[in-house]
Structure 1
């Protein structure tokens, strides 16, 4: 099996500088994620990812989304869901529901999502067994049609939270793993390493929403095929260049141990509306069984959670 390396995060100039290989790559990845709030894994760890095929599928679906033919999109200038089903005058910055059965290339994306090696890392990073994994979301972040930035945020802690509320929420398990798989070189994600373990500092609380130089920030630089896992409650933002191609697969996988808060974060995106329709019959047997088991866990989440609404991030 290929080995992995931890990612150093102290220097923005080389965010992918590595340290000596650990004997247990999964433990090394988890240690880096726990310490820094993100870890970059090299493309060599995932030999079954077919980048040319993924790029072709991504380009076709993105073109449909820009033309208003694919309604599952993220539109400018809106940062959080819900988004309208048409691009509007400002265009899109994301494409949702890559595995939706109505997408002719859904199986291409699903094979990367249910990849055996990826799931081994996911289980290690969450701290659960592979049998406990739950299908969640698979979307794509694309080049915006005009200049666009996301404000500094934590995914499921509102900006209005007090220090005490932040510390209380950050102490709870995340119950999922979240990652970016770059199909082209990407430097859009900006994070503050270690901020997933503490309340915001006075400088962070007082900074403008789109502060370009937050103290300690690091740009996560990905080469095509690399995977960045990151804690969704690390202080982070996105900065997107409309002149540079971007197609980065943005996924999350949870666990059956997850909480009601996690159910809201997942189900607000509408995945429960089509997941039951997916049969995975075109997959090889091992992948098909994994996918069916994880889909069943998602359906159970939706059944037991009821109406969850949308998570407010003070937009």
Structure 2
């Protein structure tokens, strides 16, 4: 497959790792400013070497459980979106590209506790609060899954996580939270609503699987993007996000993006998200479709502190408010 190229002059700035930082003259943090403008931001070396090593060991163990079907909550090859099959025979035959439910207490307790400690750590929640411009009492527990080296050549089609590709322009605009100032197809953003979740990929090994179109989170698709093939190898302004081990990319999950995975390279990337309580039930489908509501009530995060338990309780409240049948965001 041809390597994606970068056609815009801003690519060097976009791929420069960013650290948490004071506000710029507009009063907005530099992290949030870049996320708002580009739809993603890279933070280097988010993890200590010690935690990185521990997480690698735990991820290797749960990946083995997933590949053998002993842990049935996985992402199977050939299927991009949930629900994925859970029967052992299908999992082993198809192979996997991800492991779900890392904080599920039914997973090996030693591992699930480590994953929870990483998820609720200051290293993750400090930039989340900065990106969501909120305090920890407003955060909602969402997801922590694992993306792994696939069993064979595998790639994801171009998509937004919560906007179907067949959505007409008016529905796309509404789902993106764009106001009237957004204008027509391909127009500049102007009415984008405040972010109510923070999604991230945290790489435990070097990872350049994620391909994005910067700025596409704040506009509807262009005519070319709408008509492009699902696996189009070249689109204007697209670029690869290069992560070194321990680096983390936070991105708007409705940025136009895809994934291209190389089965010859080791891959262990924590794929997580944290929500904001103000999102309400509009966020429920995108989170609960991954099955977290089946087991979050069994978790006990008291040893991790008040923030962790508060976030867990707010997720349970979200589930109760949304009801039992939230459906699925996308098909395929």
TM-score (norm 1): 0.90
Contact in 2 for aligned 1:12/1:219 (Cα 8 Å): no
The answer (yes or no) to whether the contact 1:196–1:235 under 8 Å persists in 2 is yes
Deviates more, 1:116-125 or 1:21-30: 21-30
2:173 aligned with 1:157, yes or no? no
Tell me the distance in 2 between the aligned counterparts of 1:18 and 1:65: 32
In structure 2, what is the equivalent of residue 73 of structure 1? 74
Q: 1:116 aligned to 2:122?
A: yes
Kept in 2, the 8 Å contact 1:190–1:218? The answer is yes
Q: Quick one: which of 308, 312, 316 aligns to 1:299?
A: 316
Give the alignment partner of residue 94 of structure 1, picking from 93, 98, 101.
98
Cα pair 2:147 2:270 within 8 Å, conserved: yes
Go from structure 1 to structure 2 and tell me whether the alpha carbon gap of 1:147 and 1:293 turns closer, same or farther (over 3 Å shift): same
Task: Find the aligned partners of 1:228 and 1:19 in 2 and give their Cα distance.
Answer: 10
Distance in 1 (alpha carbons) for counterparts of 2:305 and 2:82:
30
- Equivalence for 1:6: none
Assess, with a 3 A threshold, how the Cα gap between structure 1 residues 32 and 12 changes in structure 2: closer, same or farther.
closer
CA shift for structure 1 position 168:
2.2
For 1:308, the equivalent position in structure 2 comes to 325
Do residues 236 (structure 1) and 257 (structure 2) align? yes
Distance 1:216 1:39, change over 3 A: same
Q: Which has the larger displacement, 18-27 or 61-70? A: 18-27
Superposed, 1:1-315 pairs within 5 Å as 10=9, 16-17=15-16, 23-24=22-23, 27-43=29-45, 45-47=46-48, 50-85=51-86, 86=88, 87-104=91-108, 105-170=111-176, 171=178, 172-281=193-302, 283=303, 287-315=304-332
Q: Which runs of 5+ in 1 are unaligned?
A: 1-8
Tell whether the 8 Å contact from 1:81 to 1:310 is kept in structure 2 after alignment.
no
Distance in 1 (CA, whole Å) between partners of 2:306 and 2:126 is 15
SS of the residue aligned with 2:166? coil
Measure, in 2, the Cα distance between the counterparts of 1:232 and 1:245.
Answer: 24
229-238 vs 47-56, which moves further: 47-56
1:313 to partner: Cα distance: 2.1
- 2:204/2:246 contact within 8 Å kept: yes
Q: Return the offset for 1:260.
A: 2.1
1: CA distance, partners of 2:311 / 2:82: 24
SS of the residue 2:42 aligns to: strand
- Distance in structure 2 (CA, Å) of the matches to 1:196 and 1:211: 18
Structure 2 distance, partners of 1:279, 1:312, is 29
Mapped to 2, the partners of 1:35 and 1:102 lie a distance apart of: 40
